[in-house]
Structure 1
Amino acid sequence: MQEKLPITTPAIISRSEHSISRANISEPALKVLYRLKKSGYQAHLVGGGVRDLLLGREPKDFDVATNATPEQVKACFGNARIIGRRFRLVHVRFGREIIEVATFRSLQFQQGEQSDEGMVLRDNEFGTIEEDALRRDFTVNALYYNISDFSVVDYSGGMADLEAGLLRLLGDPETRYREDPVRMLRAARFAAKLGFNIEASTEEPIPRLGHLLAEVPSARLYEEVLKLFIGGYAVSAFEKLRHYDLFARLFPQTEEALSHEDHEFPLTLVLKGLENTDKRLAQGKPVTPAFLFAVLLWEPLRLIAEELQAEGVPFYQALQEAGGLVIGRQVQRVAIPRRFSTPMREIWTLQARFHNTKGKRPLRLLAHPRFRAAYDFLLLRAEAGEADTELAAWWTRFQEQQGLDPKGGSKPAGSKRRRRRPRKKRSSI
């Protein structure tokens, strides 16, 4: 049973007392808010969007909370659909942007809606905004922007924690983590993203409750891993996860590999790979989950491949066999969709083919659709001191000799492209 939290009178921060401007809220989000209001329902922005606006950051997305049921929300919009069973929500689509609309949740759960460990299995009991505020995870995520008068509604002291740079769970931390163990990952993520400290009582249970993540579906943990490592703060998130013994719950094979040294040198490829991920995102470059997971799982794969090589298995075959073993074990904790696990294995196995620098083999490898990612991975290995730096340099020179830019895979800046002369039309007889 959900603990009973006292419902208090909220602090109302008027428009003149906060920094949120409608100019910084996306047009689709405003359309949803105004449509719900016009239909006679309460409508508030809530969660990370409000938090980020108050911090002067650009929100990644906007979530709406309302007293309208999912069916009533859907009836307001022709471009909406109800999703989820555990948490029924409405997605309102505007082109590529989706506004997520949730009905205020109740403080009470029905019998059978929680596991023996206290994890919430279903959450479709609807309530009031006061109850909904106390169901939120962190106080800084429990702030509501009211479209009716443009005020910010604060039931939990979130504004004070926001100003203090503090992450604090609403309610008893152990109970809240048992309701949803992913909140431990969210604590680490928000601390990394915002540079906030985690309040002492919120922080204390994390290392001893990490085992509860085993109850969370692997597909959901996959989504959480992407949020942790493809948000521009992967290095900080990695350090937080290891500090709270959570990384081992997500990547046990990698944690085991990182606990050892290789020839008295610490293993650094994971950290350098995450630094590279943050750098690419800061430069507006894309990052694929395939490359991210290839980095995160390389150390255990390499150790297994070395054992296989010691038994006489050729390098290429050793990488193939080790890749299958490592991925098979990993997906028991964190799912990896096949559309990413397949290119991961290609990135790994192509590392063996980089040693073939004679004859036509380099040209054939250059034409491989996964060459660019595999070459970047080779550079990363060389930078970490785990691959031959001269081999990496050879492949850089080879690309330049072929008229390619090793940094982007295209023609080098300033190179002239040959113009094709227009063909003369044959005269018809």
Structure 2
Amino acid sequence: MLKKLLRKVMPAKAGKSKLHKTVIPFSQHGIREDMLSFAAEKVVRRLHEQGYEAYVVGGAVRDLLLGVEPKDFDVATNATPEEVHKIFRRSRIIGRRFQIVHVMVGPETIEVTTFRGGSNALQNAHGRIMKDNTYGSMEEDAQRRDFTCNALYYDPIRQEITDFHNGAADIAARRLVIIGAAAARYQEDPVRILRAVRLSGKLGFDVEAQTAAPIPECAGRLKHEPVARLFDEIMKILFSGHARDCLRRLNTLGVSDDIHPLLTALKTAEQPENRIITLALKNTDERLRQDKPVSVGFVLAAVLWPRLEQHWQHYRKHGMKPVPALTEAVNTMRDTVEKGWGVPQRFSATMREIWQLQPQFDNRLGARPHRLVAQARFRAAYDFLVLRTQTGEVPQELADWWTRFQHADDETRNQMSNTAPQNGDSADKPKRRRRKPRRKKAAAD
């Protein structure tokens, strides 16, 4: 209680410039308390009841102003992580670089952060913030956020939005503006460049000139980021529901090709020989907009297929049969994808299984098609075959045959597998052993 009392009565620290604070009433923003999730409203109200400040913050407020239903809700408060953890029994403190609290309410998890402080963050030689667990006021926290559209604080009890950076006006103008000097902010955290790509592509915002100007020069700093962190940000781009728009922003904003191999592959999606990437992203965008499930492993299999196919054709040209050649190509990719690209094993395993089943679709005679349909990854591999068909890589007749086969009854399947043409390389067919001619017994004397 003493800490809370001191926060209220102690004057603000001297020497820090004051931001212009705008309070937007309900009559202007129109966000009602019942537009929040039950969990977010409960967390905010509980923190208020315990004497703390608490606000719904960031992307959820932005989306509500845009008339979009938020996928998740974050809360900012002046309570420390330890104080938040003490209030909520079902909660845990996570993070080293930035400590946050995950509060579980039913099936939903609310991310609760403490207001960030000013200038005591630990930086490395490149200027990147390595550790930042200093706390401050809401005004200081607003100064530390990345873009003006993400620096809005909504109080569902008073039904007011607090805005320090004209973020509401930028949202209305569909404009992405970074807070502070752009080059310095990208130096602090280069991943903000990828967030600018994703937000501008997803929301259809124009990137303000001063926000965009340093990106080509600063993008090289992304190479010093942990690969796992880059992979997470790339996944957010891929599964934003607007992946193709985001990819166009990668090029227009001048993000270089050599940041991460996945980004390099994505930037080549418009090339005719890489059309499978464009088709996969289009299908993914459509499924996400319809709230249908998507497979990370499947999308990665499509994005990296052109590179894999290069290895596959290389080994085939050197005399290997299709199946062993593909296995060797997959092993070549595995050495880099899992070890150097930050792709979790659970995704790369699905990707490899989809790839390795592709040559099996050429085998339509006998028992092989029956065994293939029984494979756990058959459906994903079949969908991938259809994708390859759409690029012209695979004959349409082959995909049509498998479409009929998988939906047919047992009698029809047997008939199809007994009369099917064999499109695969003849080298894949098992060779019959020739019987040695029997020696004729010598005639008896």
Could you say which TM-score interval applies, normalised by the shorter chain? 0.7 to 0.9
Q: Does 1:250 align with 2:264?
A: no
- Alpha-carbon distance between aligned partners in 2 of 1:76 and 1:166, rounded to the nearest angstrom: 38
Q: Which SS does the other structure have where 1:285 is aligned?
A: coil
Identity across matched positions, percent: 45
Q: Does 1:39 align with 2:50?
A: yes
1:342 Cα shift? 1.1
Q: Does 1:85 align with 2:82?
A: no
More displaced 10-residue stretch of structure 1: 252-261 or 191-200: 252-261
Confirm or deny: 8 A CA contact 1:218 1:331 kept in the other structure. no
CA distance in 2, matches of 1:195, 1:211: 25
2:162 to 128, 137, 153: 153
Q: Gaps spanning 5+ residues in structure 1: where?
A: 404-429
Any idea what the Cα deviations from partners look like across 1:118-169, whole Å, max 9, x if unmatched? 1110110101101000100000000111244221001011011011100000
User: Aligned partners of 2:44 and 2:270: how far apart in 1?
Assistant: 53
**SS where residue 179 of structure 2 aligns?**
coil
CA contact (8 A) 1:254 1:299 kept: no
Aligned residue for 2:104, secondary structure, equals strand
Give CA deviations for 1:265-308 in whole Å, capped at 9, x if unaligned.
44211001101111222333211111111011111110111111
Alignment of 1:183-262 (within 5 A): 183-243=192-252, 244-245=254-255, 248-251=258-261, 255=265, 258=268
Residue aligning to 2:356:
349
Given that 2:33 and 2:156 are in contact with CA atoms closer than 8 Å, whether structure 1 keeps it comes out as no
Structure 2 residue aligned with 1:306: 313
Rounded to whole Å, the distance in 1 between the matches of 2:400 and 2:52 is: 63
Moved over 4 A (4+): none
Aligned-partner SS, 1:137: coil
- Classify the secondary structure of the residue corresponding to 1:121: strand
Counterpart-to-counterpart distance in 2, 1:172 and 1:196:
19
Asked whether the equivalents of residues 32 and 156 of structure 2 are also in contact (C-alpha less than 8 Å), the reply is no
Question: 1:322 offset after TM fit, Å?
Answer: 1.6
Map of 2:408 onto structure 1? 401
Match of residue 287 from structure 1: 294
SS at match of 2:362: coil
Count of aligned pairs between the two proteins: 395
In structure 1, what is the equivalent of residue 439 of structure 2?
Answer: none
1:251-276 CA-to-partner distances (Å, cap 9, x unmatched) read 26953994996xxx442110011011
CA deviation string 1:286-337 (max 9, x = no partner) = 1111111101111111011111110012212222222222243234553111
TM-score, normalisation: structure 1:
0.88
Q: What is the alpha-carbon root mean square deviation over aligned residues?
A: 2.0
User: Which structure: larger Rg?
Assistant: 2
Q: How far apart in 2 are the matches of 1:300 and 1:319? A: 12
Take 1:225 and 1:118, find their aligned partners in 2: how far apart are those partners? 22
Segment drifting more, 371-380 vs 4-13: 4-13
1:330-387 per-position Cα deviation (integer Å, ceiling 9, x unaligned) = 3455311111111111100111111101111111000000000000001001101222
Pair 1:59–1:253, CA change in 2 (3 A) = closer
1:364 correspondence with 2:371: yes
The corresponding residue for 2:431 is none
**TM-score, normalised on structure 2?**
0.85
Give the corresponding residue for 2:423.
none
Q: 1:332–1:40: structure 2 CA closer, same or farther, 3 Å change rule? A: same
Give the Å deviation of 1:231: 2.5
- Which runs of structure 2 are paired with 1:19-38 in the superposition (5 Å)? 19-38=30-49
Unaligned runs of 5+ in 2: 1-14, 411-445
- 2:304 counterpart residue number: 297
Contact kept, 8 Å, 2:33 with 2:157, in 1: the verdict is no
Distance apart, 1:246 and its partner CA = 5.1
